[in-house]
């Protein structure tokens, strides 16, 4: 039996009890509220985790890139949703090989992306679902929920080998305080507007898919939304805690690191930097730090280079020696997972299962 104490650092470790509780809680919530659950796999990038989500009742899995879809076929999901326009002949040919093995839907905000997909699907003699993406306030992708949406949906309906399934969006609500609740109402109004516009044209809508981890347990409050795509909830992280969407006790993932230098007074260096954690900061402003050191929450992990984490110990009570091991809760677990070949699942002090992050670094 491999013990956590035997692992080389830095290592990404996951408390399996907490992870299983997170998976079950969200599956239960979706079932009770009659919401389809299509978890985003960008957080774990691991077919074994996708398979667990499907076993707990997920209707399918959400994916960002074709390379991740190829890997995630291993989860045995009957349905994959690519929440990203797939552009270019070579990528579309790969995607059609995926479409021959499972039901596939792709979300996009342009007729150009729809045309390319239709051409590829026609040639491959498969049918692919499409979602028209609307912008509900994030300003990233998505058409406006008015005439632009109707035009996009109409165009999709005219294209061969595609089935228009409905609309998709990402509610960019960071925190459900008063302002967040007002935003939630505004998003609901935009969904209403989008659905009314399509209804007026007689365009049938099966799927209204949204949801994010910060708003997860308020998903039933979004008007008309019948599907959610949370990702981070499987592991959670400091960002999710910082916006009040889970407690520290719900964070399953930690970075196991070693102290490698204490040469400078009131300061230490750990063997995890931006190559281990990513350089992502917390979504809300404030002091810039890159993780919470569990053994010493008053230590300030304030700076990183690729292989060095700088920790200011001036406010901390204890002191550590070269060779001591610490556990750090990362800011953004999705970005961190992408940097690791393996995730170590543990219970107590024992590593129970090693998961290979098969979808790591699949950029295309």
Give me the residues that bind its own copies (CB under 8 A), please: 6, 8-11, 42, 64-65, 84-85, 87-88, 90-91, 109-110, 112-113, 116, 135, 139-144, 148, 258, 260-264, 267, 269, 271-272, 274-276, 278-281, 305-308, 310, 321-323, 334-335, 338-341, 360-361, 363-364
Which lies closer to its own copies via its Cβ, residue 139 or residue 286?
A: 139
Under 8 Å between Cβ of 104 and 128: yes
Closest separation in Å from C-beta 220 to its own copies: 26
Closest separation in Å from C-beta 32 to its own copies: 30
Closest separation in Å from C-beta 205 to its own copies: 19
Closest separation in Å from C-beta 211 to its own copies: 16
Determine the Cα–Cα distance for residues 304 and 290; give it in Å rounded to an integer.
8
Query: If you ran DSSP here, which 8-state letter would residue 293 be given?
Result: E
Which lies closer to its own copies via its Cβ, residue 56 or residue 335?
A: 335
For residue 271, what are its two tokens? 């063997």
Which lies closer to its own copies via its Cβ, residue 110 or residue 226?
A: 110
Closest separation in Å from C-beta 265 to its own copies: 10
> Residue 286: CB partners within 8 Å, gap ≥ 6?
none
Which lies closer to its own copies via its Cβ, residue 252 or residue 357?
A: 357
Pairing of strands 309-312, 325-330: unpaired
Contacts 24+ apart (CB under 8 A), 106-109: 106/81, 106/82, 106/130, 106/131, 107/81, 107/82, 107/83, 107/131, 107/132, 107/133, 107/168, 107/209, 108/132, 108/133, 109/85, 109/133, 109/134, 109/135, 109/141, 109/142, 109/143, 109/152
Which lies closer to its own copies via its Cβ, residue 73 or residue 339?
A: 339
Which lies closer to its own copies via its Cβ, residue 109 or residue 227?
A: 109
Determine the Cα–Cα distance for residues 112 and 307; give it in Å rounded to an integer.
42
Determine the Cα–Cα distance for residues 35 and 325; give it in Å rounded to an integer.
42
Which lies closer to its own copies via its Cβ, residue 78 or residue 361?
A: 361
Give the alpha-carbon dihedral of 111, 117, 120, 123, to 10 degrees: -70
């Amino acid at each position: 039996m491999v013990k956590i104490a035997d692992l080389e650092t830095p290592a990404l470790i996951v408390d399996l009890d907490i992870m299983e509780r997170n998976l079950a809680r969200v599956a239960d919530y979706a079932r009770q509220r009659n919401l389809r659950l299509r978890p985003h796999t960008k957080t774990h990038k691991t077919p074994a985790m996708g398979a667990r989500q499907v076993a707990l009742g997920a209707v399918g899995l959400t994916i960002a890139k074709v390379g991740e879809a190829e890997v995630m076929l291993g989860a045995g999901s009957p349905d994959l949703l690519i929440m990203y326009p797939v552009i270019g002949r070579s990528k579309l040919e790969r995607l059609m090989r995926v479409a021959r093995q499972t039901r596939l839907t792709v979300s996009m905000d342009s007729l150009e992306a729809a045309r390319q997909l239709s051409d590829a699907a026609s040639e491959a003699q498969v049918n692919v679902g499409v979602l028209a993406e609307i912008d509900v306030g994030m300003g990233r992708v998505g058409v406006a929920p008015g005439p632009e949406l109707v035009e996009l949906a109409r165009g999709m309906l005219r294209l061969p080998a595609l089935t228009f399934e409905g609309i998709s969006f990402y509610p960019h609500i960071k925190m459900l305080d008063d302002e967040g609740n007002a935003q939630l109402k505004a998003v609901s109004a935009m969904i209403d507007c989008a659905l009314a516009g399509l209804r007026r044209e007689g365009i049938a809508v099966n799927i209204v898919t949204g949801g994010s981890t910060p708003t997860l347990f308020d998903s039933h409050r979004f008007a008309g939304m019948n599907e959610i795509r949370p990702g981070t909830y499987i592991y959670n992280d400091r960002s999710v805690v910082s916006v009040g969407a889970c407690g520290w006790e719900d964070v399953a993932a930690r970075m196991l690191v070693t102290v490698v230098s204490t040469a400078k007074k009131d300061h230490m260096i750990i063997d995890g930097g931006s190559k281990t954690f990513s350089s992502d900061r917390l979504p809300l402003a404030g002091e810039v730090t890159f993780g919470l050191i569990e053994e010493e929450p008053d230590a300030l992990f304030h700076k990183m280079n690729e292989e060095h984490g700088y920790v200011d110990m001036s406010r901390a009570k204890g002191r550590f020696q070269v060779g001591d091991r610490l556990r750090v809760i990362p800011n953004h677990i999705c970005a961190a997972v992408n940097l690791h070949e393996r995730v170590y699942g543990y219970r107590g002090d024992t590593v129970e299962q090693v998961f290979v992050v098969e979808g790591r670094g699949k950029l295309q």
